[in-house]
């Protein structure tokens, strides 16, 4: 069954999550380490050195690249680079498979606040097929898009001669997982494939049935093409705080939040760019016993905005919820029947954690 962190609500079922002798999860251990042990001044020196090298080595008018969606985190990173460090970032967005109207509004507001954005729109049919393959093979409903937000920025940086890419946070370290990279500023495409794509990159590509030409946007550049490109996370250089990022993006980049709380959680300011994230969060809940509300609550505990008791109540109220009509809308996107999408989802349900109840799946566990 599930074991919960003694400080937040991170679970033992989260992949690669570990607990110390006091029952504290790896994310909370890292949160404590950031407060007490990390030499942020030294990391600032590393950042200055990286930025100076990028300015000198760039073969473009742009000296760094920031993947963005118009949401809080990419906007925050771009703002910091441009306005506090004098960089000229090229921002790159890959249009998601089920974009929301709010996501488009936020991306346009971000551009209007002073940023150059290169938008890459993948052919809808091949993205659909690769996403469906990811759903079937990985239980990951937008796996094709997830691949693309890693491969396309790398391809653009290599082609444009931009020597430095800044992603937002390393979720593996910040939210619970293997902290292997916590003391390394840069990382590789191999790390992306193994950790962020969960080792399923080749499997989904093959299962899609797409040709090599059709799969071109999803292919990683050769190592030789990436020889002059460094990849890093902003979270390595500054204590990562999603809510602070939201406040800055709202003030400086025109970010708008949703009018109501997002499905499956109590917040309204994150993951607002695509509808299908709700299916991802639902599958996460059915696989591992934690969903979107649990993730949000654990972040809020670590930043001191929620007590653990408050978080437990919120997670009990919101976690694992999905609108009754949502599965039909996602089946329509994949062009499969409602029966088939239910069958696929059912394949990924963790039977140690859930029982079928005739309507869906009921948890065997209690959030404590």
Tell me the angle at which helices 277-288 and 338-347 cross, rounded to the nearest 10 degrees: 40
**pLDDT at residue 62, as a whole number:** 98
Q: What is the CA radius of gyration of the chain?
A: 20
β-pair partners for 167: 233
The DSSP H or E segment spanning 64 is: strand 64-67
Backbone angles phi, psi at 92, to 5 degrees: -125, 130
**pLDDT at residue 198, as a whole number:** 87
CATH fold for the domain made of 40-236 = Rossmann fold (3.40.50)
Would you give the distance in Å from CA 117 to the centre of its chain? 19
What pTM, to 2 d.p., does this model score? 0.96
**Three-state DSSP class for 183?**
coil
Closest CA to 69 of 91, 89, 84: 91
CA separation for the pair 131, 138 (Å, rounded): 10
Q: Where in the chain are the domains? A: 40-236, 262-363
Backbone angles phi, psi at 227, to 5 degrees: -60, -30
Strands 354-356 vs 164-167: parallel, antiparallel or unpaired: unpaired
Closest CA to 74 of 258, 246, 257, 251: 246
**pLDDT at residue 154, as a whole number:** 98
**pLDDT at residue 358, as a whole number:** 77
- Residues in the chain with pLDDT values less than 50: none
The DSSP H or E segment spanning 232 is: strand 230-233
Backbone angles phi, psi at 233, to 5 degrees: -115, 140
Q: For residue 56, what are the contacts with CB-CB under 8 A and spacing of at least 6? A: none
**pLDDT at residue 247, as a whole number:** 97
**pLDDT at residue 50, as a whole number:** 98
CA separation for the pair 326, 156 (Å, rounded): 35
Q: For residue 304, what are the contacts with CB-CB under 8 A and spacing of at least 6? A: none
Instruction: Tell me the CA distances in angstroms from 55 to 43, 113, 164, 225, one per residue in order.
Output: 18, 23, 9, 19
User: Tokens 């921002």, residue?
Assistant: 91
**pLDDT at residue 1, as a whole number:** 83
How many other C-beta atoms lie within 10 A of the C-beta of residue 283? 21
């Amino acid at each position: 069954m599930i074991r919960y962190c003694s400080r937040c609500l991170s679970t033992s079922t989260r992949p690669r999550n570990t607990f110390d002798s006091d029952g504290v999860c790896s994310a909370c251990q890292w949160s404590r380490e950031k407060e007490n042990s990390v030499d942020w001044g030294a990391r600032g020196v590393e950042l200055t050195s990286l930025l100076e090298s990028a300015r000198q080595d760039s073969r473009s008018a742009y000296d760094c690249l920031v993947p963005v969606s118009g949401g809080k985190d990419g906007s925050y990173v771009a703002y910091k680079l441009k306005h506090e460090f004098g960089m000229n970032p090229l921002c790159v967005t890959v249009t998601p498979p089920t974009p929301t109207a709010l996501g488009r509004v936020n991306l346009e507001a971000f551009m209007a606040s002073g940023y150059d954005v290169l938008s890459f729109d993948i052919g809808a049919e091949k993205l659909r097929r690769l996403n469906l393959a990811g759903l079937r093979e990985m239980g990951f409903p937008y796996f094709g898009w997830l691949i693309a937000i890693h491969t396309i920025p790398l391809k653009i940086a290599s082609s444009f001669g931009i020597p430095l890419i800044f992603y937002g946070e390393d979720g593996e370290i910040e939210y619970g997982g293997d902290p292997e990279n916590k003391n390394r500023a840069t990382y590789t495409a191999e790390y992306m494939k193994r950790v962020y794509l969960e080792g399923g990159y080749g499997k989904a590509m093959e299962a899609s049935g797409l040709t090599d030409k059709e799969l071109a946007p999803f292919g990683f550049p050769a190592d030789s093409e990436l020889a002059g490109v460094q990849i890093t996370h902003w979270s390595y250089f500054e204590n990562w705080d999603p809510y602070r990022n939201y406040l800055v993006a709202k003030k400086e980049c025109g970010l708008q939040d949703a009018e109501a709380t997002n499905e499956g959680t109590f917040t309204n300011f994150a993951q607002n760019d695509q509808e299908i994230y709700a299916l991802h969060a639902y599958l996460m809940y059915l696989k591992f016993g934690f969903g979107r509300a649990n993730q949000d609550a654990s972040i809020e505990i670590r930043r001191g905005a929620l007590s653990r008791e408050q978080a437990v109540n919120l997670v009990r109220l919101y976690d694992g919820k999905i609108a009754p009509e949502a599965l039909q809308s996602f089946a329509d996107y994949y062009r499969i029947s409602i029966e088939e999408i239910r069958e696929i989802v059912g394949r990924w349900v963790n039977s140690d954690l859930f029982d079928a109840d005739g309507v869906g799946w009921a948890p065997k566990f209690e959030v404590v």
